A and B are shown apart, each in its own frame.
Chain A
């Protein structure tokens, strides 16, 4: 018998965006407030897991057609690339820089290369969590 998950699916459709928004907030807040790439990544993964619970693996794969293993690599490239990038400025590995910039759509904004590194952490954490869950979930 096919169960009727209408309520769960409807709630999920709303909640996933809330969770994703929260995870992005947590991610960007990391520099000055509690949060950061690690916990942000975990929350993003939680949103996707919720999708998987409410619908099913195949549907989620259709919605988010990424190979998470490749995203692990992308994340690691971000992190290592940030480190290597400091070589171009004659600085030791993983030296970060930060400053304030006047961006036309955000006004005075604080940008730091540490953010690029954190993006790497974020991507790896999201992809690792989802790889594990997906692999185990698909296993017979």
Chain B
């Protein structure tokens, strides 16, 4: 175990101690103890920057299950380090924020920080693991801890609904991803991402390649809330705001982005990958921003905004994957898309984190997040307003903030997609910049709405539960740091380009020997189409925002019944109802029906086996002659059997059954089995007596003396069973493969065991073990009868059913 492994496991270890800290150090907010860890980890991860800058990734392995090729391998390159810094950095800020956000007295802080630390550790594990199986383990840990965090206020109905929804959707994707990983293993024989990347070009024509890609993408899309799986994210907003800020904007939802970026090197050579990633991404971008405008809850706006921004990053990764089709860096114009993806990933984490915290403050200070009740808070909460303004303008892509830079690069990337002459992009590629541009307009509108509907307009104190005032400074520190980053990155974007972006690009994209990326981000790059697009976004956005009430009715065109949420809810209900109906359709509760299934299966399975294996052999040559006694007895037995079937009263059936039993004893006599005959006689007598006992005690009320009712299905199945058994017996008798071992017993019973009664010698000596267990069975039966009759308790009142 190296320090790196301990760094990943540290949050889990601290989580063990959090309940004790919470219980025994009540005076201090538990968050302060937790805060130390992400800060330490952040500083620890910072020192890897020179390594990744120089292109020296760090690999450390600890054996976990070597026999299955599953080892805890930690791999730190530009991409993992970028994510690790995001997780620990934003994690530290969120913990700080939560200290002021969550009340020490009212909330179960122990639970909160345990879940949060579990999540932090899991997320670090996801981004730093090289082994796909270990990655999957941490991946499911993020789903689990996210589930716990969303349902943190578990006494609320909506929290539980949101938690369940996110759990179902992300775990569905998680399972799909596991299947994809296993397919990757089958193709490459290794779980190590680095080794898979090396082998990747050789497996592109493998039949598993496409299924593996689709399954992995399903996992990434569900986690990263892409269309149509984004529906869990708005419902996950029932979580405490620090959780929404951390998980549902900055980290967990980017796990899918991470997977796509990480496995681009494996799948990018396939056109399907580029189409799926870029296509779903751009549509999610448009759909998310379009729907964000109609939301009235601040957190819902941010949730849809997150969905749309994740779509943006996803589509950029898809276009960036085109780079794999170029061998030289100079002529490769698509790397800019990857650059934009990474840059926007960082930017989004900063401004979205700040915005969520801002919404949390507003919620905390006014008691509502409903945009219709809010307004005119600017004068009351100036700092919060500043934070909201900067965050929103950055989100809308206005200079001089960092969102502007990444949005310009995004337009560049999308415009390049049109130039692409691969994979039908020349016909459909034009959709990318159009959708991107439309989505940016909607982004602009909801960003303005977010700020101005909350902070300007009419102040409505009568609608608010509390009297709003500026938040305490502790709550403001984290968002202030984040918006400062927004501004700093906005003005000096190149401090990131050398340290974080270039190594991360190098981790995603292929590089020739001695090549490296030189990233330079400028605010001003001339009168390019991108600039005109941005001007268009601002102009049309402003106009549309001004006339928002005029055109808002278009959202009503989309019928409620056709929404994805309705589809999800209806799907779950249909699923439950269908499985319920299906189960009830065959689990009738009648033994008669189950016997029909059992015997039907018996007949079908045996008949088809006999047919397929060609096992039906009927050979009468070795049979003994049939004497007159056998004939008579058989006839008697058949008649008695039919009497049992067609008897009108039970008594007749019992007596006929006795006839069958005594005839059988006579058969034993004829076939020279005196021991069997004796036993059969006595046992038949006893069992007929017991039958009579049962008959005598039948309840009076429902005593039906009717004949057995006729059912065609029963007839078919019973005839089938009879035929099958007969055929098997005949076939078995016709194909004797070897001599019986009876000869041995004939010789040995007297010589070895000293007995002349061979049957008895076999029972007590040669096969005494069976007899021993059979008398045990008898003993159990007797005790069972004794217990059933003697230990009858009175029927409990109000028992089930």
Contact = CB atoms under 8 A, between A and B. Distances in A.
A96 B682 CA distance: 29
A135 B757 contact: no
Contacts of B768: 82-83, 94, 96, 114, 117
A72 interface: yes
Nearest to A122: B775
B775 to A, nearest CB: 4
A108 interface: no
B723 interface: no
Given A72-B782, A96-B768, A127-B782, A30 B775 contact: no
A42 B681 CA distance: 11
Contacts of A80: 772
A94 B690 CA distance: 35
Contacts of A73: 779
A98 B769 contact: no
A38 B756 contact: no
A118 B764 contact: yes
B757 A42 contact: no
B496 to A, nearest CB: 79
A34 B674 contact: yes
Given A124-B775, A125-B775, A135 B764 contact: no
Contact of B761 (A31, A120, A139): A31
B782 A131 contact: yes
B642 to A, nearest CB: 30
B771 A121 contact: yes
Contacts of B772: 79-80, 83, 94, 117, 120
A33 interface: yes
A110 B757 contact: no
Nearest to B772: A79
Interface size class of B (residues with CB under 8 A): 35 or more
Nearest to A118: B764
Interface string B592-607: 0000000000000000
Given A30-B760, A96-B765, A96-B768, A125 B778 contact: yes
Nearest to A68: B782
Contacts of A39: 675, 678-679, 682
B782 A132 contact: yes
A120 B754 contact: no
Contacts of A135: 785-786, 789-790
B776 interface: yes
Nearest to A32: B756
A76 B757 contact: no
B781 interface: yes
Interface residues of A, number: 47
Contacts of B757: 29-36
Given A35-B678, A69-B782, A129 B686 contact: yes
A127 B782 CA distance: 9
B753 A114 contact: yes
Interface string A96-140: 101100000000001010100110110011011101100110010
A36 B675 contact: yes
A103 B224 CA distance: 93
A43 interface: yes
B680 to A, nearest CB: 10
A69 B682 contact: no
A105 to B, nearest CB: 21
A38 B754 contact: no
A135 B786 CA distance: 6
Nearest to B682: A42
A134 to B, nearest CB: 9
A37 B765 CA distance: 13
B439 to A, nearest CB: 81
B46 interface: no
Given A98-B753, A135-B786, A36 B775 contact: no
Contact of A69 (B756, B781, B786): B786
A93 interface: yes
A119 to B, nearest CB: 10
A76 B775 contact: yes
Interface string B670-688: 0000110011001100100
A46 interface: yes
Most chain A CB neighbours (cut-off 10 Å) among B753, B755, B785: B755
Contacts of A46: 682
A34 B775 contact: no
Interface in B545-590: none
A93 B772 CA distance: 12
A140 to B, nearest CB: 10
A43 B764 contact: no
Interface in B763-801: 763-765, 768-769, 771-772, 775-776, 778-779, 781-783, 785-786, 789-790
Contacts of B783: 69, 72, 131
Given A34-B757, A35-B675, A117-B768, A75 B775 contact: yes
Given A93-B769, A125-B775, A35 B683 contact: no
Nearest to A30: B760
Interface in A25-66: 26, 29-39, 42-43, 46
B682 A43 contact: yes
Interface in B235-265: none
Interface in B660-701: 674-675, 678-679, 682-683, 686, 690, 693
Interface in A1-44: 26, 29-39, 42-43
Nearest to A117: B764
Contacts of B753: 96, 98, 112, 114
Contact of A112 (B679, B682, B755, B776): B755
Interface of A: 26, 29-39, 42-43, 46, 68-69, 72-73, 75-76, 79-80, 82-83, 93-94, 96, 98-99, 110, 112, 114, 117-118, 120-121, 124-125, 127-129, 131-132, 135-136, 139
Interface of B: 674-675, 678-679, 682-683, 686, 690, 693, 753-757, 759-761, 763-765, 768-769, 771-772, 775-776, 778-779, 781-783, 785-786, 789-790
Given A73-B779, A80-B772, A120-B775, 10 more contacts: A38-B763, A39-B678, A42-B679, A72-B782, A93-B769, A98-B754, A114-B761, A128-B778, A135-B786, A139-B789
The 9 closest A-B pairs by CB, nearest first: A34-B674, A32-B756, A98-B754, A128-B782, A124-B775, A131-B782, A31-B755, A36-B760, A72-B779
